[in-house]
Structure 1
Amino acid sequence: MRVGGPAAPTTETGVRWRFLLLTGLRWLPVGFVAPVFVLLPLSRGLSLPEVGVVFACYGATTAVLELPTGGLADTVGRKAVLVASSAMHLVFFGLMVVAADVTSWVAVGLAGGVARALDSGPLQAWYVDEARRLEPGVELRPGLSAAGGVEGVGLALSALAGGLLPAVVTSGGLTSVVWAALGGQALHLLAVLGLMSERRHRDLRQPGRGLSGGTRQLSAVVTDGLRLGLRRGPVRMLLLTTVVWGVALAGVEILWQPRFVTLLGGGEDAAAAPGGARTVLLGLLLAGAFLLAAVGSICTPAFTRLLGGSASRGAVVSALLHGAAYAVLAASFAVVPAGAAFLVFYLVNGLRSPLHAELLHEHVSADRRSTMLSVESLSLQTGGFACTLVLPTVAAVTGIPWAWGAVAALLTVSALAYLAVPDRPEAAGPLLAEERAGPPVPGVSS
């Protein structure tokens, strides 16, 4: 039975084009606000530690709800969940327009976390379902790969627009970017309603796949994943580097905007009232970071070949480069070297990610892979959550360079953990029987 009003495409190509268009529209409003998301609350009177609390609320809400809401897409359908996510993003941006104090900005963070959790996977799942329904043997890689390209280019272009808008709009200042994001989000919601057609599958009504089932799954995933992580040395080291990686990413994301605004002139208070030229540079930097992260990912195979084909060796070197870029960023007191270090950081981030993922897949058996990917995601968010609560306060007391310097040291030391992760699991010893087959997830059908 087909669900929803729009006519269904009749070929995988038709589904793919809708998937790509919806992917581009999904990230358009995010790119608009990304260059000023920290500056906006600062310009309305929040302190840097208070902005950290907002980020922490966003991250914690996403982490707690990601698995439970994932079950909703299997229960009520992909389109319904994506509509709910798009509507919540409208609430998120709408609250951002009017938020004026810590309480209202916390509400922004909570709404954004709910919206992000709802958006975790339903569009891609819809594409796979519909493409395989129309052409059961179709190759999915071209569509999924193209979506990654659309996402990167879309974020880069919208980040450029988000940086330019405050410089060319005569009234509204930074809030003009949020209004643009609201318009883009409304367009996305209309596109979801008009372009997504869905056929219910019989297994969408399985018991235990809704919100309560997802909540039970969260507990089981964390327990089972931590058991494997603690028992298996290489997996334990990979999760450790993931937590530190989350700290490093969050540290850049929450502090780079006030730091670069300060470097552009005007002292420490400039971040609270950034001028148009400053936001243009922020948009250019972020667009470059998005594009270079994609370039880094593409270059990973060639980089690994230069190191003899070893993913472990590549992970060590790329993590050391990550720490070095972070250290240069912390030590830079001029825009050019800081900007170069910022871009290199994201280039190396793209370079390192596939190597880390390959090592994790090698050391986890197939029947535990989904569990460990979920635990790794939670580990990354845990590091980010801790960072957003602590690092802004450290930066407010000691200055951003010292705060970044501490993270750079932590990131560099964490690279040594990869030395305990061989390329092949045989080198780390055989998997224990209980490591291969964990307890069944309660309330979830296999």
Structure 2
Amino acid sequence: MTVEQARFRYLLLLGLRWFPVGLMIPVMMLLPLERGLTIAQVGAVAAIQGITVLFLELPTGGLSDAVGRRPVLLIAGVVNLVSLGIWTVADSVGLFAVVYLLQGVYRALDSGPLEAWYVDHALAADPKADIEGGLSRSGVVLGLSIAGAALVSGGLVWLGPVGPVSALTVPVMVALVLSLIATVAVALLMREERPARGLVALAASVKGVPAAIGGALSLVRRSRVVFALIMVELFWSFGMVTFEKLMPVRLSEVMSDSDAAGALLGPVNSVAWAASAAGAALVPLLARRLGPGWTGFTLKIVQALTIAGMGLLAGPVGVIGAFLLCYAVHGAANPVHAGLLHRQAEGEYRASLLSLNSMVGQPGFAVGAIVLTFVAAQAGTPAAIVTGAIVLGAAAPLYLVKPKVEFREHSQSGISGSLAL
């Protein structure tokens, strides 16, 4: 498989994976409310997903490294289909709790294997392959998929109910069908060279999960660069609370009308994801001019400034403008961070390291939500947003950490590469 073929399949599968998510975003909160849950109950069952991801993220990453990317993604696809199937009929706290539990399992299984598969195959075809370029394209595809799907979802709801199916349920049913197509596409398009087959080979692979997890943790202990990148994710996730949770509150404050602010949030979020895609498209240009490390540093500083603008600028135009700029920078920063992380990991531990990076984001976001909402209650939303901006910006210098030494280590795929310590 050539680099171009691996990149095309990766981007196609990525788009198919995220389009159903975009369909769900506009109705995710409203549908449980329509079926009788209170806001507090929705928040409680939604928390189950985050807790599940936190505990399963690293073990499932190790499973991907031990068993293979394709089998794990196929299992994830089946879990997602069961979850969406229950979602179409759920009408109680218990059923929605099961939905979010399964969604947590799905997200943990799905986190990392597809990206790791692409990088493995691209580097196998060409050790000097432009990984950052491919990852930046993935940011474009992801952003456009969610933005387009969110608009489609709004249109489906606007068209009204279809027979006995309520308008808010229609996007869920469409997402179920498209998720089935995405799972079939994974089965058809992903190829892996796994010489050992059968139950004995499966048992041996599963036994390798702890070793894969240990390998990822060992990289963090031995490599100051990997440790710095993991800490970036921690600070970054803390700061993300500002534009994911506090921005709607800030917008309603400056508009003095929560209903009007709510009406604006749908199209604004769609435009924000498009801005994220545009930002991701600029990554190759920035990386060539500044280098990946300085690009990451610059983007973190700029993103912190845009977040501060959300808290300090007056009027809806200022808040929304800063929010859109923040998402554009966010979209550019994601592939830069992922590219730097990939270049520190050998193929056999790649998915485990990605899962570890993702896992760190869970407590980072949770702590940020607790701390920043407390600050908002005590000192006001602008103060909380600026605090989040400072924490996020503090991560910028970590992108400039240099390795002490470099050594070469044999990977599972037979490719030798340098690991920075």
| Structure 1 unaligned spans of 5+ | 1-9, 439-446
**Corresponding letter in the other structure for 1:214:** V
Indicate the larger mover: 243-252 or 135-144: 135-144
Tell me if structure 2 keeps the 8 A contact 1:367–1:437. no
Give the one of 282, 305, 325 matched to 2:306: 325
Structure 2: runs of 5 or more not aligned: 410-421
Structure 2 length-normalised TM? 0.72
Deviation at 1:56, TM superposition (A): 3.8
2-side partners of 1:189 and 1:365: how far apart? 27
Letter in 2 for 1:328: G
Paired position in structure 1 for 2:363: 382
Q: One-letter code of the match for 2:386?
A: A
- 2:64 touches 2:72 (CA, 8 Å); kept in 1? yes
Q: Deviations over 1:73-98 (max 9, x none)?
A: 56665554333222211222233334
Q: What's the counterpart of residue 4 of structure 1?
A: none
Alignment correspondent of 1:398: 377
Q: Is the 8 A contact 2:24 2:171 kept in 1?
A: yes
How big is each residue's C-alpha offset from its partner over 1:78-130, in whole Å with a ceiling of 9 and x where there is no partner?
55433322221122223333444554433222211111222234445666788
Per the TM alignment, residue 37 of structure 1 is displaced from its structure 2 partner at its CA by 2.8
How far off its partner does 1:225 sit? 5.1
> Does the C-alpha gap of structure 1 residues 437 and 407 become closer, same or farther in structure 2, counting only changes over 3 Å?
farther
Partner of 1:120: 111
Residue 242 of structure 2 is aligned to residue 247 of structure 1: no
Structure 1 stretch 164-173 or stretch 338-347: which is displaced more?
164-173
Aligned twin of 1:186: 180
Which of 312, 317, 333 is the matching residue for 1:336?
A: 317
Q: Distance in 1 between matches of 2:74 and 2:381?
A: 40
CA RMSD of aligned residues (A): 4.8
> Are residues 1:286 and 2:269 paired?
yes
- SS of the equivalent of 1:174 reads coil
Matched residues in 2 for 1:39 and 1:255: separation?
Answer: 19
Q: How does 1:32-431 map to 2 (within 5 A)?
A: 32-41=23-32, 44-47=36-39, 51-73=42-64, 78-100=69-91, 102-123=93-114, 149-170=140-161, 172-192=166-186, 195-196=188-189, 201-203=194-196, 205=201, 208-210=204-206, 212-215=207-210, 217-218=212-213, 221-222=216-217, 224=218, 227-228=221-222, 232=224, 238-254=229-245, 267=258, 278=263, 281-300=264-283, 309=290, 314-330=295-311, 334-353=315-334, 356=337, 370=350, 373-387=354-368, 390=370, 394=374, 398=377, 402-403=380-381, 405-419=383-397, 422=400, 424-425=402-403, 430=404
C-alpha separation between the residues in 2 aligned to 1:106 and 1:381?
Answer: 19
For normalisation by structure 1, the TM-score amounts to 0.69
Task: Give, as a single letter, the amino acid of the residue that structure 2 aligns with 1:291.
Answer: A
SS for the counterpart of 1:35 is helix
Residue deviations 1:191-213 (CA, integer Å, cap 9, x gap): 445x3475762156376432x53
The 1-side partners of 2:238 and 2:214 are apart by 23
Partner deviation per Cα, 1:312-355 (whole Å, 9 max, x = no partner): 66545433332332233345675433322221111121333455
- Flag the 1:351–1:79 CA change in 2: closer, same or farther, 3 A: closer
Q: Count residues with an aligned counterpart.
A: 401
Letter in structure 2 aligned against 1:209: S
SS for the counterpart of 2:328 is: helix
- Given that residues 279 and 332 in structure 2 are in contact (C-alpha distance below 8 angstroms), is that contact kept between their aligned partners in structure 1? yes
**CA distance 1:109–1:360, change in 2 (3 Å):** same
Range 121-130 or range 313-322, more displaced? 121-130
Label 1:413 to 1:248 Cα distance change in 2 as closer, same or farther (>3 A): closer
Q: Kindly indicate whether the alpha-carbon contact (under 8 Å) linking 2:24 and 2:175 is maintained by their aligned counterparts in 1.
A: yes
> Do the aligned residues in 2 keep the contact of 1:96 with 1:178 (CA within 8 Å)?
yes
One-letter identity of the residue aligned with 1:351: A
CA distance 1:323–1:100, change in 2 (3 Å)? farther
Separation of aligned partners in 2, 1:369 and 1:197: 19
Identity %: 31
Whether the 8 Å contact between 1:163 and 1:284 is mirrored in structure 2 is: no
C-alpha distance in 1 between matches for 2:142 and 2:318: 28
State the secondary structure of the residue aligned to 1:202: coil
Residue identity matched to 2:169: T
Question: Which SS does the other structure have where 1:377 is aligned?
Answer: helix
